[in-house]
Amino acid sequence: MQRKPLVAANWKMNGTLSSVNPLLDDILQELDESDSADVVICPPYVYIPVCAAKLADSRIQWGSQNVSEKSEGAYTGEISCDMLKDFSCRFAIIGHSERRTLYGETNTLIAAKFAQLVENDLIPILCVGELLEERESNRTEAVIEEQLNTVINAVGIHHFSDAVIAYEPVWAIGTGKTASPEQAQEVHAFIRDIIRQHDERLATTIRILYGGSVKPGNAKELFSMVDVDGGLIGGASLQAGDFISICHAMR
C-alpha cells in the first residue's frame, strides 16, 4: 500500500494526571517499534505538555482535539496554533461530531480552523460523518460531500496534501455500533472519489481513517478494506492494551 497507515487516539475529556501518566507509560512500553503504522495521541489540551515530555524520544506523535480559527487575541478559552506548536504538536483533530453537534461548529467554522492549521504547518485530521437520521434518509453522501467540499472550496485542494480525513458515522461513535467493514469501505471510496474530482494524484495518497467504536475485535476487518488507512480511536484508546492491539491490527 502506498499510504502509510495511521492510528490516532482521541482521548476526549477523559483522564487526570494520575491516569494519563501510567497510560502513556504502558503505551510506550507495549508499542512494537517494528510496527509500521504512524501513531498519534490527542489528549485534552492540558495534558499535551505531558505527552510532549514523555513521547519526545519515541515514534509516537501527538496533537490536539480542536484549535481556534483565530491566531491570537481576546478569545477567552481558546487555544491557538502557535500554542500547540510550543509543545511540538503535529496534528489537530477538527470537525469532530461532538464539536459539531454539542458546540454548534459549522462547516464554515471548520474550514477556517483547517486554514489556520495548514498555514501553521500543522496537520488537520478533518472529521466528517452522517447522523443516524441522515443515513436512514439516504443522505449520507450528500452530507459528507457538503462537509468536505465546504473545506476544499474555502482553502483549496492543494492544502489537503498532508491532511488526514476521518470518516466517523455519528451513530457509531461511543455507541458500540460499528459500521460494517463494507459500510465503511463504501463511504471511504466515496470520500476518495470526491478528492479525485479535485486532484487525481492526491486521491491515491490522502489517508482516510475510520472512527466509531473501533475495538481490538473489529479493527483488523475494518483496516483490511482497501480505502481504510487506519483509525481514529475514542473509548478503546483509553486502555493501553486495547489501543496497542488496534495499532497491531494495522499490520
CB of 179: closest distance to ligand PGA in angstroms? 11
Cα–Cα–Cα angle for 62, 146, 178, rounded to 5 degrees: 60
Q: Under the rule (CB under 6 A), what is the footprint of ligand PGA?
A: 10, 168, 173-174, 211-214, 232-236
In the complex, what is the shortest distance from the CB of residue 232 to ligand PGA, in angstroms, rounded to a whole number? 4
User: In angstroms, what CA-CA distances link 40 with 10, 35, 48, 111, 195?
Assistant: 9, 13, 12, 22, 23
Q: Where are the beta strands (DSSP E) in 37-96?
A: 38-42, 60-64, 91-94
- Is 221 designated active site? no
Report which residue's Cβ sits closest to ligand PGA: 234
d(CA 40, CA 220): 18
Q: Considering the complex, what minimum distance in angstroms separates the CB of residue 185 from ligand PGA?
A: 18
Supply the minimum distance, in Å, between the C-beta of residue 65 and ligand PGA.
Answer: 9
Q: Please give the radius of gyration of the chain, using alpha carbons only, rounded to the nearest integer.
A: 17
Quick one: which of 61, 48, 57, 43 has its CA closest to 247?
61
Q: Is 168 designated active site?
A: yes
Q: Give the residue with the Cβ less far from ligand PGA, 105 or 168.
A: 168
Which residue number, 31 or 129, has a Cβ lying nearer to ligand PGA?
A: 129
Given the residues 69, 134, 168, 188, the one annotated as active site: 168
Catalytic residue among 69, 96, 130, 188: 96
CB of 38 or CB of 203, closer to ligand PGA:
38
**Among residues 7 and 55, whose Cβ is nearest to ligand PGA?**
7
Q: Which residues contact 30 (CB under 8 A, 6 or more apart)?
A: 240, 241, 244
Active site residues: 96, 168
